């Protein structure tokens, strides 16, 4: 799934500090957050706080950004969703009536993205017929209002007006964006990248895996709420947000890390391209041409452990997704691996001639006990989602 951008409007209310938690909650689900504040909001939380959390510039005044003379339009266009949280009675009234007298309200009027509003205010303001009327007006226009909760309010009154729970606001926004959280409370282990098997201190055996497929799977699982351990061979990809990464080099190191993570996992996804063989002896010094030519021209190999099959041997109720990288007879070989390795699902791909390894897209087959389904060519991010949809349906 492509990364979504949520523009968060913060207004002048004591609950503005809770918006920091909303930002973190959305970021954990892989959402990019940008913040726009009213002048009054900056009295409660400084723009620097949101700039530090989002790593994005924070907009306040209509004319703050001299390089962008129509800032409200560019902000509005960037957003997949505009959330105003907390939203005061004043800003609620302005948005309901199309008043645009600062950057936040001008952006709200010019965006075509879905608008979600989480009001927070004093109980008497919340229950005032004017506010109730304005909320009704907004809902009639398709704006999603997240009702305020009840309890002790900062002003000392008791009643309705507290900003809704941060987790409820995050859930509503993710649902509006179409982001599923169906791996919440689950643990997922993913292997990714190549392994490298040393010959001597400067040479090794390896393959062309870039790690893109495995990293896309780890990222997508984290977005769905899973606690993810990514056991990664050497790759040059950034660490996915909210994922625990265990760096390994050899197949034996990958086996140890994968077994540990798989022991507590609900789902294991084996996307790594593990070297099937490794040199029997690793020379302590660089092998020299000439004097030890035989050592370089004839390297004795031994079989590496099969990480997937080893984990599958103690599978229990866990779900296992394996991959099959084939150059020919893709489906037939993959069906064989489904049975021989003890996987619930095999993602088969045809590799070679610049295909799949290192690419951003892949055309794969999903193979399970019921048969084979050929998928269209799609990005690895999209494929990760398709694989996880199937894996989730297999979880007990
Ligand atoms: O990393 P990318 O550039 O994005 O490329 C993605 C990919 C081609 C690496 C990926 O889509 C893929 O196909 N990964 C599996 C590659 C592979 O080693 O396939 P295999 O058919 O040899 O192995 C079958 C399965 O057993 C795989 O799940 C593999 O991780 C696992 N295996 C294999 C050998 C071994 N010793 N231990 C294993 O766990």
pLDDT per 10-residue tile (average), the chain, 396 residues: 90 97 92 96 97 94 75 84 98 98 95 97 95 98 95 83 94 91 95 97 96 96 94 95 95 98 98 98 87 77 98 97 95 95 96 88 96 96 95 96
Q: Is 87 a catalytic residue?
A: no
Render the burial of 2-33: b for 16+ CB within 10 Å, e for the rest.
Answer: eebbbbbbbbbbebbebbbebbebbbebbbbb
Ligand 1 binding pocket mutation candidate from 257, 261, 273, 302 (most atoms within 8 A of CB): 273
CA triple 77-7-174, angle to 5 deg: 110
Alpha helix positions (H), 158-300: 166-177, 212-223, 251-263, 293-297
The torsion of the CA quartet 309, 310, 316, 318, rounded to 10 degrees, works out to -70
What residues are paired with 77 via a beta bridge?
none
Q: Return the pLDDT at 118.
A: 98
Report which ligand 1 atom has the smallest distance to the Cα of 358: 3
Three-state secondary structure call for residue 231: strand
Report which ligand 1 atom has the smallest distance to the Cα of 311: 39
Q: What is the pTM of this model?
A: 0.80
Three-state secondary structure call for residue 342: coil
Q: What are the pLDDT digits (tens) for 96-113?
A: 999 999 999 999 999 999
Closest CA relative to residue 124, chosen from 89, 99, 93: 89
| H/E element, 245 | strand 243-247
The torsion of the CA quartet 127, 133, 137, 139, rounded to 10 degrees, works out to 30
The answer to whether the CB of 80 falls within 8 A of the CB of 4 is yes
| Residue 172, φ and ψ in degrees, nearest 5 | -60, -45
Tokens 């996992």 label which residue?
265
* Token pair of 382 as six digits: 């999209």
Ligand 1 binding pocket mutation candidate from 212, 255, 269, 274 (most atoms within 8 A of CB): 274
Three-state secondary structure call for residue 84: strand
Distance CA(75)–CA(225), nearest Å, equals: 28
CA triple 243-244-247, angle to 5 deg: 120
Distance from the alpha carbon of residue 110 to the mean position of ligand 1, in angstroms: 48
Pairing of strands 81-87, 5-10: parallel
Q: Return the pLDDT at 32.
A: 95
Q: Which residues line ligand 1 (CB under 6 A)?
A: 191, 209-213, 251, 270-274, 276, 304, 306-308, 322-325, 337, 341, 349, 351, 356-358
Tokens 């973190």 label which residue?
24
Distance CA(243)–CA(28), nearest Å, equals: 9
| Residue 141, φ and ψ in degrees, nearest 5 | -90, 5
Q: What are the pLDDT digits (tens) for 213-269?
A: 999 999 999 989 999 999 999 999 999 888 999 999 999 999 999 999 999 999 999
Q: Return the pLDDT at 30.
A: 87
Domains of the chain, with CATH numbers?
Answer: 5-177 (3.40.50.1950), 187-394 (3.40.50.10300)
The answer to whether the CB of 134 falls within 8 A of the CB of 97 is yes
Catalytic residue among 155, 252, 298, 311: 155
- Number of C-beta neighbours around residue 247 at 10 A: 14
Ligand 1 binding pocket mutation candidate from 252, 324, 382 (most atoms within 8 A of CB): 324
Distance from the alpha carbon of residue 179 to the mean position of ligand 1, in angstroms: 28
Q: What residue ranges in 332-386 does DSSP mark as E strands?
A: 345-350, 361-362, 364-368, 371-374, 378-379
Q: Return the pLDDT at 385.
A: 93
DSSP 164: P
């Amino acid at each position: 799934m492509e990364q979504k951008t949520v523009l968060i409007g913060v207004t002048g209310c004591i609950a503005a500090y809770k918006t920091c938690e909303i930002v973190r909650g959305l970021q954990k689900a892989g959402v990019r957050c940008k913040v726009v504040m009213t002048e009054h909001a900056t009295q409660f939380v400084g723009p620097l706080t949101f700039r530090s959390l989002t790593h994005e510039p924070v907009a306040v005044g209509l004319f703050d950004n001299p390089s962008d003379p129509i800032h409200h339009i560019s902000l509005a266009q960037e957003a997949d969703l505009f959330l105003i949280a907390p939203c005061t009675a004043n800003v609620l009234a302005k948005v309901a009536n199309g008043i645009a007298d600062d950057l936040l309200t001008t952006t709200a009027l010019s965006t075509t993205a879905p608008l979600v509003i989480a009001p927070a205010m004093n109980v008497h303001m919340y229950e005032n017929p004017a506010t109730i009327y304005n909320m009704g007006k907004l809902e009639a226009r398709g704006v999603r209002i997240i009702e305020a909760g009840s309890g002790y309010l900062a002003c000392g009154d008791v009643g309705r007006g507290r900003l809704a729970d941060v987790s409820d606001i995050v859930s509503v926004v993710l649902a509006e964006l179409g982001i599923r959280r169906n791996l919440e409370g689950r643990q997922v282990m993913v292997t990714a990248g190549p392994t490298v098997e040393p010959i001597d201190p400067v040479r090794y055996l390896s393959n062309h895996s870039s790690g893109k497929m495995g990293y896309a799977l780890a990222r997508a699982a984290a977005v769905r709420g899973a606690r993810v351990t990514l056991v990664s061979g050497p790759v040059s990809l950034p660490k996915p947000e909210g994922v625990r990464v265990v760096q390994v080099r050899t197949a034996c190191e990958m086996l140890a890390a994968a077994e540990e993570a798989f022991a507590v996992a609900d789902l294991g996804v084996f996307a790594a391209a593990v070297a099937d063989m490794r040199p029997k002896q690793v020379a302590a010094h660089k092998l020299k041409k000439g004097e030890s030519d035989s050592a370089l021209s004839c390297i004795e190999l031994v079989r590496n452990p099969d990480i997937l099959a080893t984990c599958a041997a103690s599978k229990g109720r866990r779900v296992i997704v394996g991959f099959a990288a084939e150059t020919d007879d893709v489906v037939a070989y993959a069906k064989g691996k489904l049975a021989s390795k003890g996987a619930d699902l095999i993602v088969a791909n045809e590799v070679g001639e610049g295909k799949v390894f290192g690419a951003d897209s892949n055309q794969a087959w999903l193979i399970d006990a019921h048969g084979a389904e050929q998928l269209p060519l799609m990005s690895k991010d999209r494929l990760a989602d398709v694989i996880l949809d199937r894996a989730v349906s297999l979880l007990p």
